Amino acid sequence: MNANSPLRAAAPSHQATSPLGFLSELEGSWSGRGFNLIAVPDKQNGQDFRLILNTTTERIQFNAIGGAVPNRGSVQNDINIFGLTYLQQVNDAQTMEGIHIEPGIWLNVPATTAPPGKASIVRQSTIPHGDSLLAQGSGFGAKGGPQIAPVSAKPTGPGLAHKMLGYLDPYTLTKLPPGMKKEYIVNMNQALVDAIQGQNIISNTVLSVASIPVGGIVNIPFVTINANATKMEAIFWIETVQRPDGSHFLQLQYTQTVILNFLDIDWPHISVGTLIRT
């Protein structure tokens, strides 16, 4: 997955002056809908795996941390980090069953000399399955709408070579939840493209983070042995949408892929969402 990033544009003045930088537009409450795809082990039912598909409803609340967080320097001077806490809650749109809850923090980290590094953004989160995430990346502003590249849900890895023909049939033959199209299983990011058809998006802020090469995921032993979460990458687009009457509203889209490894196969767990700030 990649951002297919457009040419970078000058940051809006509020981003240039806010200590939150490119994270400044996140603050507030967001709600919307999306889709979720995950393959999980199914040993208790005598199967290697089962594919779970959800149409989702979602809420994310971002709250700015109330001041600078100093990181003390011994090789260089201290730096001040600013950030936001967040709580993400995702439910199945049909049953309203809770399928994901995630408390976390986004950080705006300034450039440093020890170690040498450009300004960056960081996402930290904890998941009640027994996983803790740290992912680092960058943000930038761009004119126009987002450039959303395809993302593949196809499992990979040496374990596939030992499976019989038809092993991946659930990815093409499974019954779909309402609102999900067959092509979303092949490319879940198509749901994001479809959601903004006909919109006049005049600018967007891109937040891209990954657990590799800087960061990682730490799991409890049960997760490591049975369905090891090995890496994560995500892209968030904060979009300024212009209505026909000339007024604007903010829209948040994201795509996230977590790799789960079991049976010597890497299984992409893909989540996408389109949310409006309320």
CB 251 within 8 A of CB 242: no
Average pLDDT over residues 71-83: 95
The per-residue pLDDT for range 256-266, each reduced to its tens digit, is 999 999 999 99
Pairing of strands 28-42, 69-71: unpaired
Q: How many domains does the chain have?
A: 1
Q: What percent of the chain has pLDDT over 70?
A: 94
Residue 120 in domain: no
What does pLDDT average to over the chain?
A: 93
**Banded pLDDT at 4 (limits 50, 70, 90):** very low
Q: Which residues form the domain of 208?
A: 13-55+136-277
Residue 77: the pLDDT is 94
The per-residue pLDDT for range 200-211, each reduced to its tens digit, is 999 999 999 999
CA distance 264 to 170: 18
Residue 84 in domain: no
Residue 242 in domain: yes
Average pLDDT over residues 1-11: 41
Residue 2: the pLDDT is 44
Residue 181 in domain: yes
Residue 149 identity: A
Residue 73 pLDDT more than 80? yes
Pairing of strands 228-242, 200-219: antiparallel
Residue 208 in domain: yes
Structure tokens at 132: 């803790």
Residue 49 in domain: yes
Residue 125 pLDDT more than 80? yes
Residue 271 in domain: yes
Residue 105 in domain: no
pTM of the model: 0.92
CA distance 87 to 69: 20
CB atoms closer than 10 angstroms to residue 243: 10
The per-residue pLDDT for range 10-51, each reduced to its tens digit, is 445 456 689 999 999 999 999 999 999 999 999 999 999 999
CA distance 156 to 266: 5
